[in-house]
Amino acid sequence: MGTFTYFSPIIRCITNLFKHSNLNIAFRATNTVQQLLSKEQINNKNPSGIYKLKCNTCNKVYVGQSGRSINVRHKEHVRYIRTNNPQSAYALHILQNRHEYGPIVDTSQLLKT
C-alpha cells in the first residue's frame, strides 16, 4: 500500500499511473481535524524551539527540542519525575541521582525559537 499526501490535483494524476497495478493507494491530508484542534497558539510569550533544562543539584544541562511551548514541555518533564517515569533523559537523571529540579524560571531557558 502506498500513501500520498494530498496537496493538489496533480497527485491524483500521478497516482492514476498505479491504477492498473496491485498497489493500493491511500491519501492523507496535511491538515487533519486532530491537527487543527490540537494546535497551540504560537505567541511570543510562550514560544517553542530548542530549550535547555538545568539540574539544580549538579548544574548539568539537558538540551531538547519541541514544537510545543517550553512551558508545556517543562510540565511534561516534571510529570515524568513526579510519577517516577524515566521517559526523558532529564527525568532519568533526576530520578537516578535523587537530584533536585526547580520551577521553570530557574531551570529552563529557550535557546532558539
At 74, which helix (H) or strand (E)?
Answer: helix 70-82
> Mind listing the pLDDT tens digit for each residue in 54-109?
999 999 999 999 888 889 999 999 999 999 998 999 999 999 999 999 888 888 99
Cα dist from 82 to 74, 85, 88, 94, 107, whole Å: 12, 8, 12, 10, 16
> Mind listing the pLDDT tens digit for each residue in 29-62?
666 666 666 554 444 567 888 999 999 999 999 9
Q: What is the pLDDT of residue 32?
A: 65
Q: What is the pLDDT of residue 33?
A: 64
Domain residue limits, the chain: 2-32, 48-112
